[in-house]
Amino acid sequence: MTPVHFSFSSAFILGLMGLAFHRTHLLSALLCLEGMMLSLFIALALWALQFETMGFSTAPMLLLAFSACEASAGLALLVATARTHGSDRLQNLNLLQC
């Protein structure tokens, strides 16, 4: 395993572990998701540069577009839950109360 591959794999795993174990606030969960998407974007971009083909060059931009849509939807949910529940703590959110 090359050091570059190890660094992007460890960045993705750290984001995943942060998402799994540190679930107190919605904002921290969104930041962990963005860290995971950033490591995937850089890994895909380097993979496309390594193979030097035009078919793989659109995949990082497509992932970046979906990441921007995911971030905007997450921030909209953050604002909506902060307005209705008063905070962004994930313990306050319960689907059975709706």
Instruction: Specify the pLDDT at position 68.
Output: 92
Closest CA to 39 of 68, 12, 1: 12
Within 8 A by CB and 6+ apart from 41, the residues are: 60, 63, 64, 67
Q: What is the CATH class of 3-92?
A: mainly alpha
Q: Decide if pLDDT at 26 tops 70.
A: yes
Domain locations in the chain as residue ranges: 3-92
Per-residue model confidence (pLDDT) at position 10: 92
Confidence of residue 67 (pLDDT cuts 50, 70, 90): very high
**pTM check: above 0.85:** no
